[in-house]
Amino acid sequence: KMILGPHMRSPACSHLLVFLLAQFITAFCLFAYVRLTRDPGPDLWPGLPSTLTTQPGNKMATPQIGSELTILLWTWPFGQRTDLRKCTEFFDIQDCHITANRSWYHKADAVIVHHRDVCYNRKALPQGPRTPSQRWIWFNLESPSHSPNLGFMDHLFNLTMSYRRDSDIFTPYGWLEVLSQPQNFSIPAKSKLVAWAVSNWSPASHRVKYYGELKKYIQVDIYGSHHMPLPRDKQLSILSQYKFYLAFENSLHEDYITEKLWKNALGSGAVPVVLGPPRENYERFLPSDAFIHIDDFPTAQGLAQYLQELDKDQVRYQRYFQWRTWLKPSEPPFWALHFCKACQALQVTERYQSIPALAKWFQ
């Protein structure tokens, strides 16, 4: 109902329309499915783990009505205590008791184990016996290339929680929300061309090599350690001055699309130039005219030329913002929403996958 406005006529709009329709159909299928079980919570976009609807799996023990589930955070992610929020703020569900106090281990209905904090030593994993109904949730937002010792995790976990769409608990770095009213998005004032913020500079990496080619043909301003400083509180205002932002992922894996796209580029109103999984994968999360993919061009020189053309052609540049009439990028409040998604899944999801060979699955 919200997408068939009379003003949707230009080619870019019809792309958006196709995207919205495709997403709508998928969303509808999931919605219909979730409605059969329980309230799905707020309308997140797109966030649709297809396995929810198709794969048989283990049946969840139905939680007793009235009893609040306890979720133990085996560690704080990366050892850093973070704010917790009431899950009723995010979802129409019963709240969970979320704690990092290990005295609760024997009583916990679920234990969230954050990969990076336990992967260097098997003994860092929970050792005590678990009750028959206790579920262990493997939690990881890093890519397989940066997730050591995945083999340690085999035959331990009941649910997966990651950026992969086929996780039991899908926790992406960002998503689009559909606006209830169309908006006139105003593009931030632009005075510069291409920015890239990079903290992990490895000369042998695909992205640094690609940059090495690109910079021969176009000026790229680099921020991050060993480069221009980008203080957290100024990040948005600095990056928003750029027409383009290089959202180059550190490794290429399906669905591995991070805050480089959601926060640095889309969050600051710069057009993302992405290096990551193939274009089709991005299009599961974004309209096709919301970003530029390096694979759209045979060479870095071709990309540079295209960016320079757009720089001189305001009308074509503006087309990269048309999707914002109906859609708004959004990011999770780290890490509170992630934990609450687990709380929701434990109550709502009827079946989960149980992947014994985790290392084989997470590639």
Which residue's CB is nearer to ligand NAG, number 28 or number 76?
76
Q: How far apart are the C-alpha atoms of 37 and 348, rounded to whole Å?
A: 7
State in angstroms the smallest separation of the CB of 114 from ligand NAG. Answer: 18
DSSP state for residue 58 in the 8-state scheme: E
249 flagged as catalytic: no
Which residue's CB is nearer to ligand NAG, number 121 or number 133?
133
Q: How far apart are the C-alpha atoms of 343 and 94, rounded to whole Å?
A: 9
CA-derived radius of gyration, the chain: 22
State in angstroms the smallest separation of the CB of 20 from ligand NAG. Answer: 18
Which residue's CB is nearer to ligand NAG, number 180 or number 191?
180
Choose the catalytic residue: 89, 142, 249, 259.
Answer: 142
Which residue's CB is nearer to ligand NAG, number 7 or number 216?
7
311: three-class secondary structure by DSSP: helix
State in angstroms the smallest separation of the CB of 151 from ligand NAG. Answer: 15
Q: Which two tokens stand for residue 251?
A: 């490794």
State in angstroms the smallest separation of the CB of 227 from ligand NAG. Answer: 39
Which residue's CB is nearer to ligand NAG, number 131 or number 225?
131
Site residues for ligand NAG per CB under 6 A = 58, 101, 103, 133, 135, 155-156, 158, 183-184, 356
DSSP state for residue 120 in the 8-state scheme: T
Please count the residues of the chain. Answer: 363
* End-to-end CA separation in angstroms for the chain: 39
State in angstroms the smallest separation of the CB of 88 from ligand NAG. Answer: 22
159: three-class secondary structure by DSSP: strand
Closest by alpha carbon to 197, among 276, 264, 244, 263? 264
Q: Which two tokens stand for residue 194?
A: 């291409």
Q: How far apart are the C-alpha atoms of 271 and 185, rounded to whole Å?
A: 14
Q: Which two tokens stand for residue 245?
A: 């932002």
Q: Which residues are catalytic?
A: 142
